Structure 1
Amino acid sequence: MTNFVQILTMFSKTCEYAIRATIYIASESFAGKRCGIRDIARKIESPEPFTAKILQRLVRVDIIKSIKGNGGGFEIDKVQLKHIKLEQLVKAIDGNDLFDRCSLGLHDCSDKQPCPFHHKYKPLRENLKKTLKETSLLDLISEFNTGDTFLKL
């Protein structure tokens, strides 16, 4: 568990907010509701303009949908919840850096020319990538909706 907690600190703050917003939107969508930007920003404790930029990025990559007009808001198709993986979300916000970069920030780090932490970090990075690839939004909201996990919402 300690390794997983340490790995989570590798996400950017923007990515953390994106994950929280997406879980909230997914949970509301599962219940048949749409979320407005004000509500989302308030729930994830993020400034509204910052939240709007995050959501725009997620709309562009088809993770969430933006519905205009009266009764509009943000939603995720219920059928898509099991197909959208956390890896897609992380890549949409932080790119591939989490999966590719050296933990010490060295440009030349590789298996052939490793940094001092390379061989300890590589298995953690591979495990994280596997976990993110296997974890769907449905997995996350199922545990959230039953109260087995929580978000500060």
Structure 2
Amino acid sequence: MFSKACEYAVRAVMYIAIKSAKGLKPGFKEIAREIDAPDPFVGKILQQLVREGIISSNKGPNGGFYLHPEGKPVPLMDIVRVIDGKEVFSLCVLGLKDCSDKFPCPIHHDVKAFRDKLKESMQNQHVQDLVKKIEQGKVFLKNHSINS
């Protein structure tokens, strides 16, 4: 449902949040390596997230990407909105232009309930909450924990 860019963006922001909590500011190459994504692609995604105020960055030898420790929690929906747009939750999964409740595609009603629940989850879930689960070892961003 989400683009590869959006998947990478969510994983990158979670990685940045973990490192920020430890007072660290990872660079884009480290982030790309740790989330298993191509460097140039991650660089562009991170620039977009900085422009939209989701994450912050510093240049120079002590530079990198970070979240403010005292900052507001970041809803996953903010990341989705910046990368894929909110319309991702209303697009037809079969790609039909005019799919709607009034003129549904063959699977519209089945998918609508799932899509609505996912949208609600993205609005209510915050990066910081998910990071806590990662740090507790309850969930993972890749085959092994990135807590180190």
SS at match of 2:65: strand
Which of 84, 87, 96 does residue 77 from structure 2 map onto? 87
Aligned to 2:86: 96
Q: CA deviation at 1:150?
A: 0.9
Aligned to 2:34: 43
Residue 148 (structure 1) aligned with residue 142 (structure 2): no
Which of 21, 43, 65 does residue 30 from structure 1 map onto? 21
Confirm or deny: 8 A CA contact 1:81 1:136 kept in the other structure: no
Aligned to 1:6: none
Distance 1:122 1:79 in 2: 36
Aligned to 2:11: 20
Distance 1:27 1:71 in 2: 17
Distance 1:30 1:107 in 2: 44
SS at match of 2:71: helix
Q: CA deviation at 1:13?
A: 1.0
Whose helix proportion is higher, 1 or 2? 1
Q: Which amino acid aligns with 2:10?
A: I
Q: Which amino acid aligns with 1:70?
A: P
Task: Give the TM-score of the pair, scaled to structure 1.
Answer: 0.88
Aligned to 1:107: 97
Q: CA deviation at 1:81?
A: 5.3
RMSD of equivalent CA atoms: 1.2
Percent of aligned pairs sharing the same letter: 48
Which of 49, 54, 62 does residue 45 from structure 2 map onto? 54
Question: Which structure 1 segments of 5+ residues have no match?
Answer: 1-9
Distance 2:18 2:72 in 1: 10
Residue 74 (structure 1) aligned with residue 56 (structure 2): no
Task: Give the TM-score of the pair, scaled to structure 2.
Answer: 0.91
Cα offsets for 1:92-133 (capped at 9, x unmatched): 111123212112111111111111111111111110110000
Q: CA deviation at 1:80?
A: 2.6
Confirm or deny: 8 A CA contact 1:144 1:150 kept in the other structure: yes
Q: CA deviation at 1:149?
A: 0.8
Q: CA deviation at 1:79?
A: 2.4
